[in-house]
Amino acid sequence: MSMLAAFALPHPPIAIEKIGRGEERNIQSTIDAYHQISKIIADIQPDTIIISSPHAPYLRDGFFVGSSEKANGDFSRFNHPEISYSFDVDKEFAIALREVNDHVRLYDSGDLGVDHGVLVPLEFIHQQGSYHWVILGISTLSKEEHRQLGIDILSVSEKSGKKIVFIASGDLSHRLKHDGPYGYIKEGAIFDKKITDILASGRFELLDSLDAELCEKAGECGLLGLHVLSGVLKNQTYVSQLISYEGPFGVGYAVASYILKQKDPYVDLARRTIEHYVKKREMLKIEENDNNSLLSQSSSGVFVSIHRQGRLRGCIGTIEPVRKNLGFEIMFNAVAACARDPRFYPVSVSELKDLDISVDILTEPKKISSKSELDVKRFGVIVVAGSRRGLLLPDLDGIDSVDQQIQIAKRKAGIEMDEKVELYRFEVVRHHD
């Protein structure tokens, strides 16, 4: 398991009924969105929720990360000390994050006290279930370092074996109305429009194009958290949704969700192997492979196919296993497909972003007595004549008949069309992007 979803959430204490005392109805869209997010998280049932808060301890040279066993907090600052919480912290995850990011500063103070940037999301989310949390703060470090923190959070998540959710807690401009907390300035609404467009599209690379003076004038508290979020989502495939935005109290409240599409581990290994080889001309080192389960699986025949813009760009495989485990079989065939298919030039760096990759895991071939035992959609075919052997995978575009399938397999092996051959069939489990 790994990162399953990420969210951008505001933290208005007034959204809590006892604090709002009726005023919370003015941000009903935000409250409704919070309930929607809480239901999504309940359906995921994460082991751990990681949350960044701009109101956690703000360090000059690093990122605050709580590593106590327990955390607690209340709304004394908002005249409601009776609204209090105590919850578990995933100390193991915090320590693992420190091991990969030198800027992480662990704080273990017995019971960790937390702020409303954490407590407001927790109030809604814990209505659906209780979870372990990791609380971290933003910093005076650069936006690049914040993004790297997100990348490292994702890396630790992938290695943890846990189901993880990330939340960037933060409000947008505080200068949307004359009677708001910091008054009105026109840049506030401009900033919020740019941010909500980014949140809606999920194009977080656009954060880097924001004008620094505009961000300063907007009086926001959530931007650096969004840079962490951008790192968490970097190179991931996800569905973006801006669920709500409003600012009736002069502060912008945006709720957005990012549901990650889980990578197929077979294709992910093949893709990372190809990218590493094309860029560095060397095999991906095994310690760089996070899909360790593939290294413990017995090997089998594997074909790696590469397409670019709908056209075949390389396809190499093994009919029977030649490597000690399935992971190695995929890796070596991936390199062969991108660099050693005699029909194509080796894949170039500029092509990597456009590649579609599939990995076919073959069953053991079975000898058959006639072509009547073949099915072009279900079975691949192997034709054998002496030392010559040709193979064609099943369910390929443009291959509509068994006769056509056999003819192409013969052609690949250099076997004449009228030559007699032995026939073998096999099935595949196809993994694709």
Q: According to CATH, what is the number of the domain 265-432?
A: 3.30.700.20
45/48 Cα distance (integer angstroms)? 9
pLDDT of residue 263: 79
Instruction: Note if the pTM is more than 0.75.
Output: no
SS3 354: helix
Task: Summarize the confidence of residues 70-81 as an average pLDDT.
Answer: 93
Q: What is the pLDDT of residues 92-101, one digit of tens each?
A: 999 999 999 9
Residue 284 zone, left/alpha/beta (φ > 0; ψ -120 to 50; rest): beta
In this model, does residue 287 exceed pLDDT 90?
no
425 — alpha (psi -120 to 50), left (phi > 0) or beta? beta
E strand or H helix at 268: helix 265-280
Beta pairing class for 164-169 and 48-53: parallel
**CATH 3.40.830.10 matches 3-260:** yes
**pLDDT of 294:** 82
pLDDT mean over 413-431: 95
pLDDT exceeds 80 at position 291: no
DSSP E strands, 247-285: 253-260
Helix (H, G, I), strand (E, B) or coil at 365: coil
Helix H or strand E segment including 357: strand 355-362
pLDDT at residue 331 is higher than 70: yes
Determine the average pLDDT of the residues in 185-208.
97
Residues recorded for the chain: 433
pLDDT exceeds cutoff 60 at 1: no
- pLDDT of 78 reads 94
Has residue 293 got a pLDDT over 80? Answer: no
pLDDT tens-digit map of 217-254: 999 999 999 999 999 999 888 999 999 999 999 999 99
Contact 167, 9 (CB under 8 A): yes
Q: What is the pLDDT of residues 41-64, one digit of tens each?
A: 999 999 999 999 999 999 999 999
What confidence score (pLDDT) does residue 295 get?
78
Alpha helices of 101-236 — where are they, by DSSP H? 116-125, 143-160, 186-201, 212-218, 223-233
Please state the domain extents for the chain.
3-260, 265-432
Contact indicator for 419, 386 with CB cutoff of 8 Å = no
Q: Is 88 exposed, middle or buried (0-12, 13-18, 19+ CB in 10 A)?
A: middle
Q: Which of 368, 411, 356 is nearest to 388 (CA)?
A: 411
Which residue, chain included where needed, has tokens 């109805």? 25
